[in-house]
Structure 1
Amino acid sequence: MRWIWIDKFLEFESGRRAVALKNVTLAEDHLHDHFPGFPIMPECLMIEAMAQTAGILVGQANDFREKVVLAKISKAVFFDFVRPGDSLRIEAQISSIAPEAASTTGCILRDGQVIAEIELMFSHVDQNLAGKKFPEENFVFTGLFTSLLRDIVLDAAASPAETG
């Protein structure tokens, strides 16, 4: 994962739900181009933030044994702009999980106001693409990434849930 679009987990219930935080700052290069004079976070990056939050939740449900990749954006509805200075609360829940795939639902909130509703489907690559060969190593959840994530998840579990 080259860019991580979430800053930290606020809550993490294994196999069930996760809540992440994303602080939008003018220090992010993409905001200088989208749009000059009226910088807003692109909706595709909000989808990616949800995909990372929900994908990590799905991956962790199987202890990162599966290569979890985003397969489908089932729904993405946006209700407002997101600007520098906004703090986003990204809430994701697993709707269903099977050996081949998982589906998630979620919303992105700012100060309690729903900014987006997003439903995603993830594929467990090794279980779902019969006959295609992929590297044995988990190229989605690398060793460095999973060790970083385990620290984040442990911190979220150890501290009381924050509210946004």
Structure 2
Amino acid sequence: MRWIWIDKFLEFRSGEFAKAIKNLTLAEEHLHDHLPGYPVMPASLIIEGMAQTGGILVGEANGFTEKVVLAKIPRAEFFGVACAGDQMIYEVTLTDLRSEGAVVEAKAFLDGQLLADVEIVFAHLDQSRSNQIFGPKNFVFTQQLLGVLDLAKAQERARHLPAPGDPARPGHPEGPDAVAPSPTDTGKGLTVPGE
């Protein structure tokens, strides 16, 4: 089973930047097991949330043709803890993208305050070698993980639609694709002449 540490994307700019959210609830088992009686999010899982955000950003920049894996974390600084009831915001910027991998700068925020500042290096696995080791299935970009990105893209498309009732909205009676009613249209449905 693979755990997803992103609830949804708030912003996604292809090949540049991603902003994601993670809500911490007492329903998450790791909050009870990490430090019993003190439900804090382990730092490693905060890094994993930023890595998932960054991994999708890196993978999407190449059309998800490469298997992207976390290679190393050269720097990680934490300035506090995240507890049950907190809402973390991950902000990840793609700083370097090459054929062999990528580097991202990732930050986690709580209530607008910096919680973590991390540099993450990703590697692109060689296709022939990764197929020998892992098979053809893309174990990195699972449907569940990509579903988070699909939701963000759908929300973005919806934001750019005119509001309901706006004449510019497709299908609106006065909109650009409106069709004048025919003389046999009563408004309750189409009537057939001679009935």
Normalised-by-shorter TM-score class = 0.7 to 0.9
Instruction: Give distance in 2, aligned partners of 1:71 and 1:35.
Output: 28
Per-residue deviation at 1:147? 5.5
Task: Report the AA paired with residue 57 of structure 2.
Answer: L
RMSD (CA atoms): 2.1
2:156 corresponds to: 157
Aligned to 2:104, the other structure's residue is in SS state strand
Q: Distance in 1 between matches of 2:130 and 2:85?
A: 47
Higher strand share: 1
Residue 33 of structure 1 is matched in structure 2 by: 33
**Which amino acid in 1 is paired with 2:92?**
A
SS in 1 for 2:46: helix
Structure 1 segment 1-164 matched on structure 2, within 5 A: 2-126=2-126, 133-134=132-133, 135-142=135-142, 144-145=143-144, 148-158=147-157
Could you tell me the TM-score, scaled by structure 2's length?
A: 0.74
TM-score by length of 1: 0.87
Deviations 1:18-57 (A, max 9, x none): 0000001111001112212211100000010001000010
Q: Matched residue of 1:133: which SS?
A: helix
Does the C-alpha gap of structure 1 residues 39 and 150 become closer, same or farther in structure 2, counting only changes over 3 Å? closer
Contact 1:9 1:156 in 2 (8 A): no
**Structure 2: gaps of 5 or more residues:** 160-195
Q: Distance in 2 between matches of 1:26 and 1:159?
A: 32
3-state SS in 2 of match to 1:38: coil
Among all aligned residue pairs of Structure 1 and Structure 2, give the percentage whose two residues are the same amino acid: 49
* Whole-Å separation in 1 of the counterparts to 2:60 and 2:130: 25
User: Runs ≥4 in structure 1, deviation > 6 angstroms?
Assistant: 129-132
Distance 1:147 1:87, change over 3 A: closer
Q: Counterpart of 1:58 in structure 2: which amino acid?
A: V
Contact 1:10–1:156, Cα closer than 8 Å, also in 2: no
